């Protein structure tokens, strides 16, 4: 399964189980196992880089088991094939999100004029408050 142009996940690392879906669907719900439970072992995988692995653990949240397996359940559709595609797409998006590195912040200094303007505003505000107190001291 292709995640990005540089990252592929082997199909053998994915385990799919088909279970009966809950909710509306009439007789179809009672007869056909349309819901998909997709399992992906993060511990066994070696293709995902370490920096993305730790972020993926955080992004997976409660979908990650204590054994290091990401479990995605898909039962949005009434067809097994659509649920299967949905589960795979959600796993793909989750892994792709973990590969994005945060943008590095470049520290900038506020301009001199902005600093002077800020200090002037503080002084003005201080004078207004001092005049309200009733004790006026002129500088």
Q: Give Cβ neighbours of residue 119 (< 8 Å, ≥ 6 apart).
A: none
pLDDT surpassing 70 at residue 123:
yes
Length of the chain, in residues: 139
Phi, psi of 132 (to 5 degrees): -70, -25
Q: Look at residue 51 in the predicted model and tell me its pLDDT.
A: 87
Q: For 41-88, how does the pLDDT look when each residue is reduced to its tens digit (9 = 90+)?
A: 888 888 888 888 889 889 988 999 998 899 999 988 888 899 999 999
Class of the 2-99 domain? Answer: alpha beta
Provide the 10 A C-beta neighbour count for residue 21.
22
Complete edge-to-edge strand list for the sheet that includes strand 69-74: 14-19, 35-41, 69-74
Distance of CA 94 to the CA centre of its chain: 7
For residue 3, the model assigns a pLDDT of 81
Site of tokens 């082997």 = 10
**Residue 136 has what pLDDT?**
60
Between 20 and 89, where is the model more confident? Answer: 89
């Amino acid at each position: 399964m292709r995640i990005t142009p540089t990252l592929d996940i082997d199909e053998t690392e994915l385990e799919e189980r088909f279970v009966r879906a809950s909710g509306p669907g009439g007789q179809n719900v009672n007869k056909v196992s349309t819901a998909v439970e997709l399992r992906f072992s993060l511990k066994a995988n070696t293709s995902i880089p370490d920096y993305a692995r730790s972020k993926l653990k955080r992004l997976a949240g409660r979908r990650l088991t204590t054994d290091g397996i990401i479990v995605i359940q898909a039962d949005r559709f009434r067809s097994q094939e659509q649920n299967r595609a949905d589960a795979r797409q959600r796993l793909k998006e989750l892994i792709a999100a973990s590969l994005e590195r945060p943008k590095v912040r470049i520290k900038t200094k506020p301009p001199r004029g902005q600093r002077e303007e800020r200090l002037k505003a503080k002084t003005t505000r201080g004078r207004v408050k001092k005049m309200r107190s009733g004790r006026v001291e002129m500088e």
